[in-house]
Amino acid sequence: MFFPINIGNAHWVLVVLNVQDKRIIYYDSLGLKGDRYLEGILKLLQDEAKERNFFFDVSEWTMLSEFSEDCHPQVFFNFFNKYCSTIFKFDNLQTNSVDCGVFVLMFADFLSDNLPIREVTEDRMPTFRKRIAANILKKEIPYSYPDNGSSSSSIRVECSSPNTRCAII
């Protein structure tokens, strides 16, 4: 589950909840520590479990960010790997004030498709921006997922006119 988070109306980060592996992982293109947001998602889980009368053991969950004590600093983690691994050192951090949203979108996109996140680099932001714009303009966002085990589908975006809100179908 992906949680894009806006910090102070100035910066976007991504928190990924991996329920199967009981991990909450923080991704920040500036390489900042995200304990506050990791703890917030854990609290959300606690509250939801309590409301539904489910047992929830906080000690079973691991929270990670680039600067977690149990991992090398500035290392991103493989969302699908149960253990923190030093897949690569993320040296290409964001150096401007405008790309954080694109980083978040691409982190989520790459992670959901099990692609190497090391490919999400600042020098590729212009290409990623064009890809995002093209998908929005063609009113369809290709997204493959199993539908009855054999076919794939897309998410369609329908707009009644150019100046109105659009709906995702």
Q: Would you name the residues annotated as active-site residues? A: 11, 28, 100
Backbone dihedral region of 103: left (phi > 0), alpha (psi from -120 to 50 degrees) or beta? alpha
Q: How far is CA 24 from CA 13, 45, 91, 94, 119, in A?
A: 13, 11, 22, 22, 22
Measured CA to CA, the distance from residue 4 to residue 27 in angstroms comes to 10
Q: What are phi and psi of 25, to 5 degrees?
A: -125, 135
Measured CA to CA, the distance from residue 70 to residue 87 in angstroms comes to 14
